């Protein structure tokens, strides 16, 4: 019966989030309030909350509670936040990354990014552009904007290797989840320069906002993949493997 009850609590809270009763950035009732409301045990309530968290509806923050993060932006996000380096090594592919841009800019230079990350004009962004190559062929164009107050600089050597390894192991950042949307877009002059003459000349363009565990929006990424070689899945949450490795960028 307890197993059925935690599913009932989960489905009820999920529906309330979808209906806007609890909107983005709001806290759910506390565990104590929920166990009284549903006349249930603390363990049953916690199982329901864990399920909401695993499915990208909430983020649990120590000392605050469960905050709603579902923004209706996760149309076609990846199943795991896994880096280019990690996934290509697992598949045994020959890969390399070329850094095209590595600079610090004013947020006001990129009004759309500024708006998406909720920044002020005086805030600074670390802007990194990289092309990804597999077996000698360009497959992905990645453009990243990091909040410079969180990530002040990244060397070209790190950008060529794994930025997330640096963020997590050197800067000790806790990367938690992302919301991503996907559009299929025709090549511009820039894509022709990077990918060459490819048929059909379209990219699957993934735009994502990445959050730290405390829900800080610290990264905006635009990742352009050759449309004919692109797959997608579910909600993205950063996980740790048993050996401590993260599962992106």
- Tokens 């983005």 sit at which residue? 24
Residue in 55, 75, 78 with CA at minimum distance from that of residue 66 = 55
Total tally of structural domains belonging to the chain: 2
Is residue 20 one of the residues assigned to a domain? yes
Query: Digits of tens for pLDDT over the chain (249 positions)?
Result: 445 889 999 999 999 988 889 987 789 999 999 999 999 999 999 999 988 887 778 877 777 888 887 554 333 334 345 555 555 555 555 678 999 999 999 999 999 999 999 999 999 999 999 999 887 889 899 999 999 999 999 999 999 998 999 999 999 999 988 888 888 888 999 999 999 998 878 888 989 999 998 989 999 999 998 876 665 544 455 655 545 555 444
Instruction: Report how far residue 189's alpha carbon sits from residue 179's, in angstroms, rounded to the nearest whole number.
Output: 28
Whether residues 59 and 100 share a domain: the answer is no
* Cis omega (within 30 of 0) for bond into 200: yes
Q: What is the CATH number of the domain that holds 55?
A: 1.10.10.10
Q: Do both 92 and 138 map to the same domain?
A: yes
Position 49 scores a pLDDT of 94
Is 246 inside a domain boundary? no
Q: Judge whether 170 lies within some domain.
A: yes
């Amino acid at each position: 019966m307890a197993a059925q009850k935690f599913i009932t609590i989960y489905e009820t809270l999920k529906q309330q989030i979808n209906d806007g009763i609890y909107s983005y950035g709001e806290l759910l009732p506390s565990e104590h309030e929920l166990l009284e409301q549903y006349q249930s045990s603390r363990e049953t309530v916690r199982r329901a909350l864990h399920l909401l968290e695993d499915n990208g509806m909430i983020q649990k923050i120590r000392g605050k509670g469960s905050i709603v993060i579902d923004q209706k932006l996760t149309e076609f996000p990846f199943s795991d936040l896994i880096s280019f380096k990690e996934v290509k090594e697992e598949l045994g592919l020959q890969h390399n990354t070329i850094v095209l841009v590595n600079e610090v800019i004013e947020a006001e230079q990129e009004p759309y990014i500024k708006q998406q990350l909720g920044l002020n004009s005086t805030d600074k962004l670390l802007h990194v552009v990289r092309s990804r190559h597999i077996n000698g062929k360009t497959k992905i164009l990645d453009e990243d904007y990091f909040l410079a107050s969180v990530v002040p600089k990244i060397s070209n050597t790190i950008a060529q290797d794994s930025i997330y390894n640096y963020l997590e192991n050197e800067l000790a950042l806790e990367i938690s989840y992302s919301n991503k949307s996907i559009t299929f877009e025709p090549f511009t002059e820039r894509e022709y320069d990077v990918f060459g003459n490819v048929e059909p000349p379209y990219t699957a363009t993934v735009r994502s906002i990445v959050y730290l565990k405390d829900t800080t929006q610290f990264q905006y990424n635009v990742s352009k993949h050759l449309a004919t070689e692109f797959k997608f899945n579910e909600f993205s949450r950063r996980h740790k493997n048993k050996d401590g490795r993260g599962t992106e960028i």
